Amino acid sequence: MGSHMDEPQYNKDDFFSRESLWEDLGSRLQQPDASQQQTPLPAPETETPAEQTQDEQTLTDQTLADQTQDEQSEVAELQNHIDMLQQQLAEAQKLTALGELVGTTTHEFNNILMTVLNYAKMGMRHRDDETRDKAFDKILAASQRAARITNAVLGMARNRSDAIEPTDLGKVIDDALVLLEREMNKYRISMEVDLLDVPETLCNGNQIQQVLLNLLTNARQAMEPGGTIWVKLENDVDENMNILTIRDSGCGIAQDELPKIFDPFYSTKAGPDDSGKGGTGLGLSSCLTIIDAHQGRLKIESTVGIGTQFIIMLPVVGVDDQLAVA
């Protein structure tokens, strides 16, 4: 046999009994080769649960703020649109009322002209002073009435501003009654008017006249021919307001309908009457809007079979208002 180098001889027991061999082998296995070692990757940055909650809350708050701002902008735009439509509706109602009055006054002027022509012919036919004086008196009265109607219509047509100022409410009522006199006579409506001396009213005369024309027309429509309308103007010292009452002897309004009487488009009428007026459900709603804008009050009292009463309360002119005008 060939020669061999001397090698350490271990038996089984000797090998397993030497702990140093196991320790050396273990250390070799745990230490990787330097050539195979890799630079460790940095640990990813992670947010703590508290930081995540705060970021999510900030995002949610910003989203809600943006949504709220958008909704507020939409609401403001819609409100502006509603205000514009209400203003256009008010102007349309003024023109409608003016158109109705023009139709009424046209017939009235025709009657006045017929009066003037007939009495002028009578004066020309009769030479005696008594007949001529009577003819002249009738012609003068008819002409004065024509002047009053003209002034009332022109006043309504010219006063297009929305200014609230010291106003003679009695004069406003007189003009409204002049404009509706022919209509009331046509339906044989008796007018009982009691206008007391009151302080000047802080209002817009044209708008209040629009309210009066509407309420008086409603009162006439609620009655059969031959009814009565009472109009009264007085001052309430304690309330510091002027009170205008319009009462009719008409059919009245049921109690369950009274809470809805000022709602837009609500009407107790089947439609316009034979004069073409009423039935839209906008008249009383507009009246309430106008009175509210004057910081006044509009109340209704009604009993079926007896009649209806509207009470308008408007502020009187105060010392500060008088100084402002002066």
Q: Are residues 262 and 178 in the same domain?
A: yes
For the chain, the 3-state helix, strand and coil shares in percent, each to the nearest 5, are 55, 15, 30
Q: Give the distance, in angstroms, between the CA of residue 175 and the centroid of all CA atoms in the same chain.
A: 27
Q: Considering the entire predicted model, what is its pTM?
A: 0.63
pLDDT at position 21: 53
Q: Are residues 172 and 308 in the same domain?
A: yes
Tell which of 111, 132, 158 closes a domain: 158
- Per the CB < 8 A criterion, the answer to whether 222 and 308 are in contact is yes
Per the structure, the complete domain to which residue 302 belongs is given by: 164-326
Q: Specify the CATH number for the domain of residue 190.
A: 3.30.565.10
24 located within any domain: no
| DSSP-assigned letter for residue 44 | P
126 located within any domain: yes
Model confidence pLDDT, tens digit, residues 5-60: 555 555 555 555 555 555 555 565 555 555 555 555 555 555 555 555 766 667 67
HSE value, Cβ hemisphere, 13 Å, CA-based, for 287: 27
How far is it, in rounded angstroms, from Cα 170 to Cα 184?
Answer: 19
Q: Are residues 179 and 136 in the same domain?
A: no
pLDDT band at 311 (very low <50, low <70, confident <90, very high): very high
Tell which of 126, 158, 190 closes a domain: 158
10 located within any domain: no
- Read off the amino acid at residue 252: G
77 located within any domain: no
How many distinct helices (H) and strands (E) make up the chain?
8, 7
Q: Are residues 108 and 208 in the same domain?
A: no
pLDDT at position 40: 57
Closest CA to 155 of 199, 195, 105: 105
Residue whose structure tokens are 């008086």:
216
Sequence-separated (6 or more) residues with CB below 8 Å from residue 177: 191, 193, 216, 231
Q: Are residues 233 and 299 in the same domain?
A: yes
Sheet with 228-236: strands ordered across: 190-195, 228-236, 241-248, 307-315, 297-303
186 located within any domain: yes
Q: Specify the CATH number for the domain of residue 144.
A: 1.10.287
Residue whose structure tokens are 């708008």:
207
The three-state secondary structure class of 282 is coil
pLDDT band at 179 (very low <50, low <70, confident <90, very high): confident
- Per the CB < 8 A criterion, the answer to whether 310 and 292 are in contact is no
Q: Are residues 258 and 237 in the same domain?
A: yes
185 located within any domain: yes
Q: Are residues 177 and 153 in the same domain?
A: no
319 located within any domain: yes
Beta strands in the chain (DSSP E): 165-167, 190-195, 201-203, 228-236, 241-248, 297-303, 307-315
Model confidence pLDDT, tens digit, residues 194-231: 999 999 999 998 889 889 989 999 999 999 999 999 99
- Read off the amino acid at residue 43: A
Instruction: Look over the chain and give the mean of its residue pLDDT values, rounded to a whole number.
Output: 79
58 located within any domain: no
Tell which of 100, 130, 158 closes a domain: 158
Closest CA to 148 of 121, 174, 116, 119: 174
How far is it, in rounded angstroms, from Cα 100 to Cα 202?
Answer: 27
How far is it, in rounded angstroms, from Cα 277 to Cα 213?
Answer: 11
Q: What torsion do the CA atoms of 171, 173, 176, 182 make, to the nearest 10 degrees?
A: -100
Q: Are residues 240 and 108 in the same domain?
A: no
Indicate whether 142 pLDDT > 60. yes
Closest CA to 301 of 261, 274, 271: 261
Total of domains in the chain: 2
pLDDT at position 182: 83
Q: Are residues 292 and 185 in the same domain?
A: yes
Q: Are residues 207 and 107 in the same domain?
A: no
Closest CA to 308 of 257, 236, 233, 241: 257
Model confidence pLDDT, tens digit, residues 94-127: 677 667 667 767 777 888 889 899 999 998 998 8
Q: Are residues 267 and 184 in the same domain?
A: yes
State both tokens at 47.
């947010």
Q: Are residues 131 and 262 in the same domain?
A: no
